[in-house]
Chain A
Amino acid sequence: MATTPTPQATVSQNPFADELRTGRSAKPCVLVIFGATGDLTKRKLVPSLMGLAKDGLLPPAFAVVGFARRPWTDDGFRKELADGVKQFGRPDTMAHFDALADAFTFHQSDFGETAGYVALKQKLDQIDRQRGTAGNRIFYLATPPSSYSAILQNLAATGLSTEKDGKFARVIVEKPFGRDIGTAVALNDQVRAAFHERQVFRIDHYLGKETVQNILALRFANGIFEPLWNEKFVDHVQITVAESIGVGSRGGYFEESGIIRDMIQNHLMQVLTLVAMEPPAAITADAVRDEKVKVLKAIRTFKPEEVDEATVRAQYTRGSFGGEDCKGYRDEEGVPKESVTETYAAVRLQINNWRWAQTPFFLRSGKRLSRRVTEVAIHFKHPPHLLFEGGKAQQPNVLLLRIQPDEGVALRFGAKVPGPDVRIRDVRMDFRYGTAFGGETADAYERLLLDSMLGDGTLFARADEVEEAWRIVDSIVAGWKQSKRRPDEYVVGTWGPERADALLGPGRTWRKP
């Protein structure tokens, strides 16, 4: 029987609809990737799609259109993607790419050329007819932010961003979501001129990590933690995202952002909100994000004169690390000698609500630190009365959420040392994801791509979250600009500048994970 284009068939009740709801099955759709010739598509997006295919989570009626300026052919595009799946995909995903290869096509156009979008629309309609993708589209902006405006305007102008007759149109936006509150609001306005907020998925890949999601599971699926999760029992919280690498060839880019824009405004703020939020009424996108926004709103904007006392910024200096001589930041390619851009920042935040009124949150992130690690450490208070000899020397309990590497949860507590004396020593109970569950862990992009197909925005940043995070970060940056203090220095391979210890206050020390 010949394949002939026909209008989309009318769909009545599907007697097997529950099979599509079992687990997390996405509806048929086409994913249009703008900037498809870039690294992100090859290294992350398509390998992640094949991971979904391997796990049976990709809708069978599915297609990808790569949209970019370069004059590639369908075959050239597929070859490039096949290389990406081979190099960066999970084991055994190549066969899935081979089976789906003809669903990948390339569309050449300039991002600002309206005719290119008219042709894209025709192409998508044809794919719907041939592949049963049902008129559902997801547009992935994998381009530099400077192209967003042209793409969004053209998607709106050609009607591609409009949802009708039960068909969805969604847009995925990659970070950075602006570089301050002004540019973030302008970007959000541009996005909202083309799409409703419910159609928008701002991707911060940190939220796709299993261990970040486990923060919610740990807090709200267990009865024992939540009663302790407040200022009565928690002395302070440390959130660390440390990298052992330097800025490498990204010196020019990094010089414009610094660690506070590159890491703290997004990844650390997202983790902070998950740790500090109130229980949502349900695990739905808006219920969770409403609570996250409340946390950010409860953090006061810094006055410029407060910033030096509440933050530490620093730059790494030359040193030996792992047997190698490493450059200092100001000697890196693309970095001016007089740079004051921070490669390390530590910030004390106070969440002004009933739960956390007396509990400071310390966020730190840096490059060229001792090791690559992301963790949340909940430091509990000492018991009100120390019964045992040497009790004051004993460390308080710490609940540690390790996000990467060695993903897991550990609890430090005191135990009696065997023997006739009553002596207490710190011991640790340890749960490790890799040991308890083993198996293959899906990349964060897999989860986020699937959620975007399902229309579940829980793990994506909402416009108000982004803007609130910028409000806080902007006030820190403004304080640094007015400050006469230059950034501190720390030697490559250490845990940051000495002054960071003073930030914590008496009796507290930074963890050296």
Chain B
Amino acid sequence: MSGPALVRTPVQPADWPKIHEGMRAMWKQCLAEQGGGDVARSLTVNFVGVARAADAEALDGALQRLQRRSPCRAFLVLVDETAAAGRAELAATTRGNGAMRDIVLEEIRVRVPSAAFPQLPGLIRPLLMNDLPTHLFWAAPWPQNAADFHGLAGLCDHVVVDSRRFADPARDLPTLAGLRTGRRITDLAWLRLRPWRRALAEAFERVAWTAGTATHATIRHDGDGKAAALLLGDWLRTRLQANVQTDDSGAASAAGPDHLVVRTGGFEVDLGLFRGQIRAHVSTAEHCYLPFSVPSSRGTDGDLLAAAIDMV
């Protein structure tokens, strides 16, 4: 289903103290473009996104998917060590709705060096829309200085991270686990694993498994999928007390596991990527079932982000 056409205003620069003024000018521009018709603001969440400047395009892509599901006011923080703090870029996106248009996205984009992070909570807090939930999407590598993360997370009701972007998942995942107490955190890498978890659950519907049975699992992944493999491995250890081995020789395009084998109690479950699906083979010593498939992807990062926000 293709929705009504979206129209984005030209980007307007504004100094930080003038952001609110700049936004008012932006709304007037939306009205002028509507030729005197009505324009309404229909925002349902505040969104704070943090990414490296080099990943701006990916963050924009995710934001476009998000606004289709949850119209939002978005603060986009792009980390650029060569930038000078103090300037913002503003834009609004409207969507046609009969004779009127709805503002479905307000963007406030800042480029800052890491050193400017302490200023960000004070900049963002007064610009958050009242009574709307605030979500932080930390799409940058895990910060050297934890205070950078805590400063922004403290503004937000819910934090979304993507451990796939962690420089050293073996080091950073336990840190992330330690932050979960008292805070809602969703990891996109874990959501991306949902088809694998589902396929494994379906496979175990076909066989009889007894707790305590010696179990061995092998997870193959590429370099980018290390965090996902670690998360999946931890899950298998918890659920099956499995001996888990990981192997990083997987396909570079998988961005996660590309093959998982579990051997236990006289049967084998073999899951592998095949034409956009996870194909599952379940076999015992006597026979094997026809393979079944589940879609390997639950959508783009933006779709997963929108789903993570929906779940809260």
Q: Which residues of A contact B (CB under 8 A)?
A: 1-6, 9-20, 22, 25, 28, 53-54, 56, 59-61, 90-91, 95-96, 99-100, 130-132, 134, 406, 430, 432, 434-441
B19 on the A face (CB < 8 A): no
Interchain CA distance A14-B265 in the complex, whole Å: 13
Q: Which residues of B contact A9 (CB under 8 A)?
A: 206-208, 284
Which residues from B are CB-within-8-Å of A90? Answer: 1
Question: Chain A residues near B95 (CB, 8 Å)?
Answer: 435
Q: What secondary structure prevails in chain B residues at the interface with A?
A: mixed
Contact B3 A434 (CB under 8 A): yes
Contacts of B70 in A (CB 8 A): 437-438
Known contacts A1-B283, A11-B206, A56-B194; A17/B3 CB under 8 A: no
Q: A439 with B68: in contact, given A56-B194, A131-B292, A132-B292 (CB under 8 Å)?
A: yes
If A14-B205, A19-B197, A20-B202 touch, whether A130 touches B104 (CB-CB below 8 Å) is no
Shortest CB–CB separation between residue B102 and chain A, in angstroms? 5
The 5 closest A-B pairs by CB, nearest first: A16-B201, A19-B201, A60-B292, A438-B68, A435-B42
B208 near A11 with CB under 8 A, answer yes
Q: Are B201 and A436 in contact (CB under 8 A)?
A: no
Rounded to whole Å, the gap between the CB of A259 and the closest CB of chain B is 28
Contact of B202 among A6, A59, A406 (CB under 8 A): A59
The answer to whether A99 touches B201 (Cβ under 8 A) is no
Q: What chain B residues lie within 8 Å of A10 (beta carbons)? A: 208
Closest A residue to B280 by CB, please name it: A60
In the complex the two chains form, is A99's CB within 8 Å of B275's CB?
yes
Tally of A-B residue pairs with Cβ under 8 A? 130
A438→B239 contact, CB < 8 A:
no
Q: A71 to chain B: closest CB distance in Å?
A: 27
Chain A contacts for B295, CB-based, 8 A: 53-54, 56, 96, 99
20 contacts between A and B (CB under 8 A): A2-B288, A9-B206, A9-B208, A14-B204, A14-B209, A15-B239, A16-B197, A16-B200, A18-B201, A20-B202, A60-B292, A61-B206, A91-B1, A96-B295, A435-B42, A436-B42, A438-B3, A438-B104, A439-B68, A440-B1
When the two chains form the complex, which single residue of A2, A16, A22, A130 contacts B204, counting CB atoms closer than 8 Å?
Answer: A16
CA distance A513 to B239 in the complex (A): 56
Q: Which residue of chain B is the closest to A443 with respect to CB atoms? A: B1
Contact present for B69 and A437 (CB under 8 Å): yes
In B8-65, the 8 Å CB interface with A consists of: 40, 42, 44
Cβ-defined contact, B68 with A131, below 8 A: no
A58 CB to nearest chain B CB (Å) = 9
Task: Flag whether B131 is at the interface (Cβ < 8 A).
Answer: no
| A60-B294 in contact (CB<8A) | yes
Q: How far is the CB of A409 from chain B (nearest CB, A)?
A: 13
Q: Note all chain A residues with C-beta closer than 8 A to B200.
A: 16, 19
Most chain B C-beta atoms within 10 Å of own C-beta, residue among A12, A130, A132:
A132
CB distance from B11 to the nearest CB of A (A): 23
Q: Cβ of A16: which chain B residues have Cβ within 8 Å of it?
A: 197, 200-201, 204, 239
